[in-house]
Structure 1
Amino acid sequence: MAQKNRNKWIGKAPVVGLIVLGMLAFWYLELGQYLSLDYIKSSQERFQTLYQSHRVLVIAAYMGIYILVTALSLPGAAVMTLAGGALFGLVTGTVVVSFASTIGATLACLVSRFLLREWVQRKFGEKLATINAGIEKEGAFYLFSLRLVPIFPFFVINLVMGLTPIRLFTFFWVSQIGMLAGTIVYVNAGKELARIDSLSGILSPGVLISFALLGVFPITVKKLLALYKRKLRVGLKKSA
């Protein structure tokens, strides 16, 4: 058994090595400075000129960077979203950011599942049994609710969902839809990039409360429908 586990970890070593190498490069080369709000604002005109000359190339490069940042759970996704709005506008920016963020999130979920799920489930299987059952039963609704509430860090959701039994295809399309509202808010804010001084100023308390209510809505509706069906079945049995 020990040899089998050792072989499994050896098989995962290349993936771990690539992730560690990517993170070290990010911090050692101080690439984070290029994903800051100040840098994006100061480079906006230069990016616009480049985009006008090479639209497809710029979109491809932007999506590649965004996917990499999200897949490795590196800081900078919010600023990248603002940059997408400033560079591509609301419609194109929303489409580009939506797919890039969802692809990156799915890759992060896949990496978490590949590296940690088996160990976590083996180590805490009994304690996670209820959570696993809940995810299998209403995983899409649960994930959708989490995606609609931007007060939860999305990179945490990506990694945690990788430890659950939720299917990757379900994770992808639910994330695509669930993150759309927040994506539109940030991309739209990116259109006014010059007026933005901090990320915290984008989402007002009212907007956050609205997102939270939207997040609770789908599970609440499902619970109410289930309660209604149970009462309906009880009523039919009594009438029979």
Structure 2
Amino acid sequence: MPDDHNQPRPPTGNTASAKPLSRFAPVGIILLGLALGYALGLQNYLNLGFLAEQRQVLRAYVDANTAWSALIFVSVYIVAVAFSFPVASILTIFGGFLFGWLAGGALVAVGATAGASILFLATRSAFGSFLQHRVDGVVRKLADGFRENAFGYLFVIRLAPVFPFFVVNIAAALFDISLGRFVAATFFGILPGTFAYAYLGQGVDSVLVAAQEAGREARISDLVTRDITLAFFALAVVALIPTVVRQIRRRRIGS
């Protein structure tokens, strides 16, 4: 008779349920980190008011510890984006002010892409191809089209930041886009806006001084003009043209 002790045993109920639940752990950590960050009041240090008060101290520290400061800045940017703190624009302005538009923009591009990828992977781990298996009709076609042309669509969305940065990171995971396309579209798509905001940050000192003299806190709207916003949209429209043309050609061939 076979030895019962050597026979494989079916998994217990706890093991079977642990695997599905474990996929939500990364999202749970992100939500916990976001709540903890707000509880600690980190949002009070990620605004133009704090930059106005501490700009001389921060710049002196960066000048004395450039490499270490760059590492700290990138790390903070990664954590902020990964935990979905809505401070991407502010931090980019910080980067331009502290490191100059070129170095600051490069640091932001690396930090933003890394942080976005972490959030993307966490969301995909929890929900996977959520839309692919649970929707039908027009939404299903939209999901399939988005997935097939992931780089083009994501690139355009990144060029014209109509939607919050963290929303795009989460939505891309729900559309079941590959990590490679997500990273490439994010990195190259955010470059124009990143360097534009870093350039604004490089000259933010005069804006901060003017706001202080006026007895109010500086706002991003003091830096971002209507012309810059329109330029972002125009750039996105131009980038979208090849994708639209490709879709039209496919439909004509299919018909």
Pairwise TM-score range, normalised by the shorter structure: 0.7 to 0.9
- Structure 2: which 5+ runs fail to align? 1-12, 209-217
Which residue in 2 is equivalent to 1:174? Answer: 185
Which residue in 1 is equivalent to 2:241? Answer: 220
TM-score normalised to structure 1 length: 0.85
Which residue in 1 is equivalent to 2:229? Answer: 208
CA distance in 2, matches of 1:225, 1:22: 42
CA distance in 2, matches of 1:170, 1:118: 15
Task: Tell me which amino acid in the other structure corresponds to 1:201.
Answer: D
CA distance in 2, matches of 1:190, 1:107: 26
Matches within 5 A, 1:1-240: 6-124=17-135, 128-194=139-205, 195-196=207-208, 197-224=218-245, 227=248
SS at match of 1:166: coil
- Structure 1: which 5+ runs fail to align? 234-240
CA distance in 2, matches of 1:32, 1:128: 36
CA-atom RMSD, angstroms? 2.5
Larger radius of gyration: 2
Q: Does the 8 Å CA contact 1:117/1:163 hold for their aligned counterparts?
A: yes
CA distance in 2, matches of 1:167, 1:229: 22
Q: What is the Cα deviation at residue 19 of structure 1? A: 1.9
Q: Does the 8 Å CA contact 1:147/1:179 hold for their aligned counterparts?
A: yes
Of the structure 1 ranges 102-111 and 199-208, higher mean CA displacement relative to structure 2 is found in: 199-208
Q: What is the Cα deviation at residue 209 of structure 1? A: 2.0
TM-score normalised to structure 2 length: 0.81
The 3 A distance-change label for structure 1 pair 49 and 113 is same
The 3 A distance-change label for structure 1 pair 229 and 104 is closer
